[in-house]
Amino acid sequence: MTVSLTNMPFITEKMGVPRGVAVEFPFSMIWGRPGDRLMERDIMQHMLDAVETIEKPGTIIELPYTWPEEDFRKRDWFPKEPTPWMSSQDAINEMLEFMQHGDPLE
């Protein structure tokens, strides 16, 4: 039995997970900023509660937490090294071709 924590419910909905919990937090800190133990516990409790409250497969519960504006301005979730598929025009073109005609199950 699973509960999924997602920051991209747009995708999670398409995948069709049994039980989901969504937060508007960035990648690299989906459970909250480093050291924010209270936030980790709150999110975890919501996930445990979801086991007992979600009755319909595919349900995603959205949590009301927001990323503080002063933290948003830091934009410190981006990797310092460019991701490989964005590192050259050839790589970008290969990705665009995949997005248009690729088989994700390959």
Give the residues lining the site for another protein (CB under 8 A): 1-11, 13-18, 22-37, 40-41, 43-45, 47-48, 51-52, 57-58, 60, 62-63, 67, 76-81, 83-85, 87, 91, 94-95, 98-99, 102-106
Strand-pair category, 19-22 with 59-62: parallel
Whichever of 34 and 70 has its CB closer to another protein, that residue is: 34
Q: Is the dihedral of CA 32, 68, 80, 104 positive or negative?
A: positive
Q: Is the separation of the CB atoms in 67 and 24 below 8 Å?
A: yes
Q: Least distance to another protein from the beta carbon of 70, Å?
A: 15
